[in-house]
Amino acid sequence: MSVGTKPSPTPIALITGGSRGLGRATALALADRGMDVILTWRTGRDEANAVVTAIRAKGRLAVALQLDVGKAGTFEAFATEVRDALKQTWSRERFDSLVNNAGIGGYSPFIETSEASFDELVAVHFKGTFFLTQKLLPLMADGGRIVNMSSGLARYAYPGLSTYSAVKGAVEVLTRVLAVELGPRRIAVNVVAPGGIDTDFGGGVMRDPTLQKTVAAETPLGRVGQPDDVAGVIAMLLAPETGWVTGQRIEVTGGYRL
């Protein structure tokens, strides 16, 4: 560092659904790479606090805030909470990266899908991503990053997942449009599409040994994914070296059904 110059402030990432699963793994991966974290939780306060404690043990700062991404009417108040957290914990007005990770599973045959279940998946995965990003953009630093979460199911098809797959496809299209619209602010926007990951998502369906064996047989790398497989890709997209990557879909499936 040259004499008289100030060190760059520690980058801050905001991760929705950061109390467990992919969000937890991502929060810890970012802390390992020198980033501070604001993470959100919906019902798992104790889990979220445990992640905060783990991040602080790594020498980084972290704050956990409650948020239901399916309730867009709460986003303005949440943005105020983020603003207050930035001021109180970091004495700053902006954070650097947003990871729209929070989500829910949803399975039903197309012919049996109710309007209520359809609306819930749209609210959480698409409307939530759309309007939360909109509300938080004034708090994001220019030159920042956004990573949206899609799914391999936006490419390959499974019966019973018509709504889930469709809303993830919508997130992928939104990502490309945001990459264009936010280009003047030098905000890179990308989407990560995991395949089957060994977490408790969707009731822990991917922890079933029979399903794991089936998925592994169709995966060139020969296994189901682990949370760290996805977290590492997200961390890569938030790293300084990938600032010229935007509007891209990065699939993290081990090559499933190529």
Active site residues: 164
User: For residue 89, what is the DSSP state?
Assistant: I
Evaluate whether 257 touches 224 at the Cβ level (below 8 Å).
no
User: For residue 47, what is the DSSP state?
Assistant: H
Burial of 87 (0-12, 13-18, 19+ CB in 10 A): exposed
3-state secondary structure of 40: strand
- Angle formed at CA 232 by CA 214 and CA 167, multiple of 5 degrees: 60
For 214: left if phi > 0, alpha if psi spans -120 to 50, otherwise beta; the answer is alpha
| CA pair distance 85, 95, nearest whole angstrom | 10
